[in-house]
Amino acid sequence: MSASLGATATFARGIHPPEGKHFVAEAAIEVLPTPKSVRIPLLQHIGAPCEATVKPRKSVTAGDVVGDAKAFVSAPVHASISGTTARESNTTLPNGRHVPVVPINAADEQPLEGQALYDDVLGGEWPTQDLDVAAFTSEQIVQMAREAGIVGLGGAAFPTHVKLSHHPDHNVDTLLINGCECEPYLTSDDRVMIESPRSVVCGALLALHSTGARKVIIGIEENKPQAIRALRHAAEGTAVEVQVLQTKYPQGGEKQLISAILQREVPTGGLPFDVGVKVINVGTCSALARAVLRRKPLTHRVVTVTGAGIKVPKNLLVPIGVSYAELIDYCGGLTKDAARVVAGGPMMGFTLGSLDVPVTKGTSGITVLTHQEVRKQEQSNCVRCGRCVDTCPLNLVPTKLALAARYNNTEVAERYSVTACMECGSCAYICPASLPLVQLIRWAKILVHAERAKEKAKAEAKAAKALASTADERPSEGGSEKKEAKPEKEAKPEKEAKPEKEAKPEKEAKPEKEAKPEKEAKPEKEAKPEKEAKPEKEAKPEKEAKPEKEAKPEKSKASKSEK
């Protein structure tokens, strides 16, 4: 039964950046013609990387597994086109991570192209109210999600089968489907909801059955009226509810969605299941429905190519592994005043240094900003206005985190819950001093993770030493005990099941060259907390550490659009 709850629900705090959705909100999804080649990254998700399962010069058909891993928190990758594999090589993803790729050169004939491919992925019949979810056990749905390589398509890329798995300690009562797409400019989720609402509803029902939750609600921002109507219509006669939410950034954050719809607050550093909730993206739901009902793996996704710096912005259905450059070419190329290409949207995306980057499962869009949109403001000293603190949707204190980063002070960073930061960029957006708060916070996270890794290694070494000395005291048993004493590295389900804590591996999150606070940080001053209270004198952020800040649309435009 669909619900009409009005556009009143939202979370506390947040910002209203220019939406920028007008470029492609009305552009129907087009199928990209099969590219000459693709490169399938062997790590497109949170968790263990895959290893190639095919050798070079082998013939593969679209949908064949080309990489897999044994770890539970991982997801196989599949050939997105039919063709012949080439020798494994490497690429650098937009987040700075270097990963191996399996190249595939396209065959002359593809099993599905054009409209047939569209119908297979998004179109055709989806049963909705006739869907018999009881025909599948929870374990079967989890298994099919894993085999299909489904990960969170909203950008987090957390393996969906892990999320769908029922855990006896997690008392989940509600499943939320995230249809907010709050990131400015991007419209891929919006188009999926408009054009394939029944696949989303089917996926939501399958996920509901698999997680064992009692209730499923799709949350959509009010700036997507077509999607709201389409999903309400598709959900009629099913258990799926549709809730309209205020348009505000970052409404699509898991914790903000939970707060807005259920008025439950996930504790700092906690996860949705701590308050009985699981959250899945609408695109992921559609992919899950295809995996379970059509037995098709995740080989394609919808990508928005947009912005004033693109000649003909489009929403495209593309094979995983096609290069960004090819998508931009297909959209007519860059305009003369294009200034910056961003993987994702302007708030959370990564500025690209090269367009020779393959699309991954987590690629929701490419945004090209112009010189007018790329604000180049000089950084100044913190004026202690407190706006960043007032804005942070997670109630963090960005100024403290930034200072901790400048002084390489992991203790302060941990005390102020740096790892809870979701890097939404709201604080940096609102900062009148244009401080690179997100880059500094990322740096602090790197330091904290490095510190934790060091401590863990120390503890493990100590434990191994203790075991060795115990073994020495028992010479008849010692040899076998030493060998048996190291299983931990392979089996850590609890830690692996916490996406947010592992979501930003240090190297991914921090292009080292962007922020080098070490040079500024003077160790002897770290011990003087009173200095931390005077950021004006110390804060001289590096000029090169501003990609995200610069990628933001102008604030003056924001206020205009709000009016």
The site for ligand SF4 (CB under 6 A) is made up of 382-388, 391-392, 394, 396, 398-399, 421-427, 430-433, 435, 437-438, 441
Q: Are 217 and 282 in contact (CB under 8 A)?
A: no
34 or 247: whose CB is closer to ligand SF4? 247
E strand map for 250-347: 277-281, 300-306, 314-319, 338-343
Q: How far is the CB of 430 from ligand SF4 (least distance, A)?
A: 6
Which among 296, 164, 282 is positioned nearest to 234, based on CA atoms?
282
Give me 120's structure tokens: 């297979």
Q: How far is the CB of 539 from ligand SF4 (least distance, A)?
A: 8
202 or 396: whose CB is closer to ligand SF4? 396
14 or 159: whose CB is closer to ligand SF4? 14
Q: How far is the CB of 431 from ligand SF4 (least distance, A)?
A: 3
Q: How far is the CB of 249 from ligand SF4 (least distance, A)?
A: 10
Sign of the C-alpha dihedral computed for residues 274, 277, 282 and 285 taken in this order? positive
- For 143, the enclosing helix (H) or strand (E) is helix 138-147
Query: What DSSP string runs through 95-132?
Result: TS-EEEEEEEEEPS--SS-HHHHHHHHT-S---GGG--
Q: How far is the CB of 416 from ligand SF4 (least distance, A)?
A: 9
3-state secondary structure 467-511: HHHHHHHCCCCHHHHHHHCCCCCCCCHHHHCCHHHHCCCHHHHCC
352 or 396: whose CB is closer to ligand SF4? 396
Q: How far is the CB of 105 from ligand SF4 (least distance, A)?
A: 41
237 or 432: whose CB is closer to ligand SF4? 432
181 or 500: whose CB is closer to ligand SF4? 500
Q: How far is the CB of 167 from ligand SF4 (least distance, A)?
A: 26
Which among 216, 18, 202 is positioned nearest to 124, based on CA atoms?
202
Residue type, 263: Q
Query: What DSSP string runs through 177-221?
Result: EEE---STT--HHHHHHHH-HHHHHHHHHHHHHHHT-SEEEEEEE
205 or 539: whose CB is closer to ligand SF4? 539
Q: How far is the CB of 387 from ligand SF4 (least distance, A)?
A: 4
Which among 183, 223, 422 is positioned nearest to 304, based on CA atoms?
183
376 or 384: whose CB is closer to ligand SF4? 384
Q: Are 355 and 386 in contact (CB under 8 A)?
A: no
289 or 430: whose CB is closer to ligand SF4? 430
Collapsing DSSP to helix, strand or coil, 38 comes out as: strand
Residues in the chain: 563
Q: How far is the CB of 560 from ligand SF4 (least distance, A)?
A: 21
